[in-house]
Amino acid sequence: MTEEVPAFNIIEVHALTKVFNHEIRAVDGVTFNVGKGEILGFLGPNGAGKTTTLNMLSTLLKPTSGNATVNGHRIDEEPDEVRRSVGYVFQDPTLDIELTGRENLDFHGRLYHLNRTLRRQRIEEMLDIVQLQERADDLVKTYSGGMKRRLEIARGLLHHPEVLFLDEPTLGLDPQTRRSIWEHIHYLNQEKEVTIILTTHYTEEADYLCGRILIIDFGKIVALDTPQALKAQLKGDVVSLTFESAAMIPRIHPLLEKKNWIRRINAVSNTTNQSSIGNMMHTNQPTAGSPGIRNDPHRTKSATSTVKQTNMTNHPPTAKQLNLLVDDGGHRIPNIVKLADEAAVVLESVELHKPTLDDVFISATGRNLRDQRGSFMDMIRRHRIMRQARGRPTPG
């Protein structure tokens, strides 16, 4: 995907800040621009401030300070103009389930002042795109989670917005549906020239769709660039070391720090690191590192033969894993194993791969993207969305 230089900035954000209840700095002085026709991805863990940023840009929330313009209109001065330019597919469900799919779309069309003929035409067009024609006249409460999500996306596009905000558009969807939504997002951007901001936890999604990626953490921007450039910043290979216990890390850390061929060391607090996609290797099979194969379905994680599987240790609160950024990682693995022996620490596994966006994230924040740092309520809500998406009734 080659990105053309955008003609002009359709979104300009300056020092945007939102403080909840005088203490939670959900968004903290964020400044960035989005060019016309761009797809910008917000990547960040739970509670990073992604949704809050979108809520401010769509005028649903008033910023505590700072400002922004969308399609040339200031969010504080011309909220109606801003809203007319924006389509917003919310993270949480926002359909009226007592209405039919078609009625939900019709309601939206009227709210956006489309006349009758235009409304009819667009509704047919959108139903066609998200493949809901057959179910259009059924009540939404009879839809599956994926169908609801598709209807929400169709609704957000109905008025042909200049700018589209997609807040975790594919959360909880099956791989096929996710794929088809990706294709559709791509189509909208290419054919209809819709500028898109998309939030996600999925680095594959960000990598595939986004021209640029903004990594946000604790309400602050920690990186903003093209996926290629972000990954290129981490030259070399990532070697992930998982130890038997967290207590071993302080013993090996000083030894690793002395080696000049290790360019960066990050402790990763998530013990079940699913994000690093690459080949798993055992310490007793130090083959040459294969370049990061993405989405390898066969990757397994097992303890080495030399390492005794200890009984379930109680989960240590601290890191069990270190990620090393290393030049020519494949050849360094024997050295690393030797160092582990010197320090008398037990390695559970060693993994080698090319830097991915997850590594970029870890390197920028010291934490794994999949860490659950959101509030308890965020977790409950997320659980609810996932359940709904899988078509199960929610309690309460």
Partner 1 sequence: MVQPLSSQAIYVVLLRELKRYWRAKARIVSSVAQSFFFLIVFGLGLGRFVGGVSGVSYLTYLAPGIIGMGLLFGSVFSGVSVLFDRQFGFMKEMLVAPVSRTSIILGKILGGAVTASIQGVILLTVSGLMGAFELTPTLILGAFTAVGVMLLITAGLVGLGVAIGSTLNDFHAFQLLSTFVIWPLFMLSGVFFPIDVVPLPLQIAMLCDPMFYGVELLRWCLLGEGTAMLGPFGWVISLGVLFGFMALIVSVATYLFSRVQV
Ligand X SMILES: Nc1ncnc2c1ncn2[C@@H]1O[C@H](COP(=O)(O)OP(=O)(O)OP(=O)(O)O)[C@@H](O)[C@H]1O
Q: Smallest gap, in angstroms, from Cβ of residue 98 to partner 1?
A: 5
- Name the binder of 83 from ligand X, partner 1, Mg ion, none, CB < 5-8 A by kind: partner 1
In the complex, what is the shortest distance from the CB of residue 161 to Mg ion, in angstroms, rounded to a whole number?
Answer: 20
Cβ-Cβ contacts under 8 Å for 396 (sequence gap 6 or more): none
Which residue among 11, 32, 47, 51 contacts Mg ion (CB under 5 A)? 51
* Interatomic CA distance for residues 234 and 265, integer angstroms: 12
Query: 265 touches which of ligand X, partner 1, Mg ion, none (CB within 5 to 8 A by kind)?
Result: none
Q: What is the spatial distance between Cα 33 and Cα 64, in angstroms, rounded to a whole number?
A: 19
Q: Give the one residue of 91, 100, 177, 195 binding Mg ion; rule: CB under 5 A.
A: 91
Give Dmax over CA atoms of the chain in angstroms.
Answer: 77
> Between residues 123 and 385, which has the closer beta carbon with respect to ligand X?
385
**Residue closer to Mg ion (CB basis): 51 or 276:** 51
Q: Is residue 375 part of the contact set for ligand X (CB under 6 A)?
A: yes
Closest distance of CB 26 from partner 1, Å: 13
Instruction: For tokens 């200890």, name the residue.
Output: 310
Residue 347 and residue 298 in contact, taking contact as beta carbons nearer than 8 Å: no
**Residue from the set 13, 26, 105, 147 that interacts with ligand X by CB under 6 A:** 26
Smallest distance, partner 1 to C-beta of residue 44, A? 20
List of long-range contacts for 105-113, beta carbons under 8 Å, 24+ apart: 105/151, 105/154, 105/155, 105/158, 108/155, 108/158, 108/159, 109/158, 109/159, 112/84, 112/158, 112/159
Query: If binding is defined by CB under 6 A, does position 275 make contact with ligand X?
Result: no
Is 85 near Mg ion (CB under 5 A)?
no
Ranges of H-type helices in 88-202 = 101-111, 116-129, 145-157, 175-191
Residue 289 to residue 79: CA distance in whole angstroms: 54
Closest distance to partner 1 from the beta carbon of 383 (Å)? 16
The least CB distance from residue 111 to partner 1, in Å, is 4
Choose among 17, 29, 18, 4: nearest CA to 221. 29
DSSP per position, 304-316: -TTS---------
| Among Mg ion, ligand X, partner 1, none, residue 24 binds (CB under 5-8 Å by kind) | ligand X
Give the one entry of Mg ion, partner 1, ligand X, none that residue 138 binds, where binding means its C-beta sits below a cut-off of 5 to 8 angstroms depending on kind: none
Q: Does 51 bind ligand X (CB under 6 A)?
A: yes
Provide the 3-class DSSP secondary structure of residue 325: strand
- Using the minimum distance from each CB to ligand X, give the nearer residue, 48 or 389: 48
Q: Minimal distance in Å, beta carbon 115 to partner 1?
A: 10
* Choices 75-83, 156-164, 284-292, 370-378 (CB under 6 A): range interacting with ligand X: 370-378
The per-residue b/e assignment along 270-284, b for 16 or more CB within 10 angstroms, e otherwise, is: beebebbbbbbbbbe
Q: Contact positions toward partner 1, by CB under 8 A?
A: 55, 58-61, 80-81, 83-84, 86, 88, 90, 92-99, 103, 107-108, 110-113, 155
- Alpha helix positions (H), 130-248: 145-157, 175-191, 203-209, 227-233
Least Å distance between CB 13 and ligand X?
Answer: 15
Do 354 and 291 contact (CB within 8 A), yes or no? yes
Which one of Mg ion, partner 1, ligand X, none is in contact with 46 (Cβ closer than 5 to 8 A by kind)? ligand X
The span from the CA of 256 to the CA of 263, in Å, is: 10
Cβ count within 10 A of residue 345:
20
The tokens describing 337, both together, are: 């194993």
The count of residues interacting with Mg ion (CB under 5 A) is: 3
To the nearest whole angstrom, how small is the minimum distance from the Cβ of residue 47 to ligand X?
Answer: 4
Q: Which stretch in 89-97, 108-116, 272-280, 305-313 sits in contact with Mg ion by CB under 5 A?
A: 89-97
**248 near 345, Cβ under 8 Å?**
yes
Return the half-sphere exposure (C-beta side, CA atoms, 13 A cut-off) of residue 173: 22
Q: Interface with ligand X includes 24 (CB under 6 A)?
A: yes
Nearer to Mg ion, 51 or 104 (CB): 51
Q: Can residue 29 be called a binding residue for ligand X (CB under 6 A)?
A: no
The residue ranges that bind Mg ion (CB under 5 A) are: 50-51, 91
The residue ranges that bind ligand X (CB under 6 A) are: 20-21, 24, 26, 44, 46-52, 91, 374-375, 378
